[in-house]
Amino acid sequence: MAKIISMDEAVSLVKEGMSVMVGGFVACGTPPGLIDGLAEKNVKNLTIITNDAAKPGLGVGKLQDNGQIKKFIGSFIGQNLSIGEQWQAGTLEVELYPQGSFVEKIRCAGYGLGGILTPTGVGTKMAEGKQEITVNGKRYLLETPLSADIALIRAEKADRFGNLTYKHSARNFNTAMVTAAKTTIVEVDEIVDQIEPDQVVTPGVFVKYIVLAKGGK
């Protein structure tokens, strides 16, 4: 059963040097209270694994503004120019993957798979250092699992068992990331006694801690 904790307790679980998955697409589906708490605590040298770098002052962009990110792993940085500038200057590590490969690497970690075979990137710079496998005459790259120490997830509702529902497109990468970290913390708008089984999107077995968002109930 998931444990309900305060926002301060949740933020204190994130330590310097950890790898942290953060759900969201340009901050839609990103847990705002947890990100604000991390920014206020100023935890340093984080490896942030998220689809995109959002924007300065928005979502994980707040962590970038504070210089808290040591390494960024995702699929898009175009709206946060400072990450691109630091990458080119050699002061920030960046790993970029095609979006489909990115989410599938996370899914592999969550479901205990050894990786996926994808034709995306064959014959390009994306193939450098990766194993290439030919199946039925077609070339594929092996993309290995991507996991994290902690996942910070945004959901609409949780019950006392940790079962989750999401609101529209805000589920995005959250449903994969919630499965792929050693510890998962979920920020929700509402905590209820029980979510009906046929309404559950993420089973509570993947959730360790729940925190209530500001203004939640």
**Is the domain covering 3-114+147-212 a CATH 3.40.1080.10 domain?**
yes
Could you tell me the residue ranges of all domains in the chain? 3-114+147-212
For every residue of 155-167, DSSP letters joined together read: EEEEETT--EE--
- pLDDT tens for the 217 residues of the chain, in order: 789 999 999 999 999 999 999 999 999 999 999 999 999 999 999 999 999 999 999 999 999 999 999 999 999 987 888 888 888 898 899 999 999 999 999 999 999 999 999 999 999 998 999 999 999 999 999 999 999 999 999 999 999 999 999 999 999 999 999 999 999 999 999 999 999 999 999 999 999 999 999 887 7
Q: What is the per-residue pLDDT for 117?
A: 97
Contact between residue 26 and residue 79 where contact means Cβ atoms under 8 Å apart:
yes
Question: What is the rounded CA–CA span in Å between residue 141 and residue 128?
Answer: 10
Write out the two tokens for 20. Answer: 């942290």
Question: What is the rounded CA–CA span in Å between residue 174 and residue 107?
Answer: 11
Q: What is the per-residue pLDDT for 31?
A: 97
Q: What is the per-residue pLDDT for 81?
A: 86
Question: What is the rounded CA–CA span in Å between residue 207 and residue 183?
Answer: 8
Question: What is the rounded CA–CA span in Å between residue 26 and residue 12?
Answer: 25
Q: What is the per-residue pLDDT for 100?
A: 95
pTM over 0.85, yes/no: yes
Q: What is the per-residue pLDDT for 77?
A: 87
| DSSP character at residue 54 | -
Q: What is the per-residue pLDDT for 78?
A: 74
Q: What is the per-residue pLDDT for 84?
A: 85
Question: What is the rounded CA–CA span in Å between residue 165 and residue 144?
Answer: 28
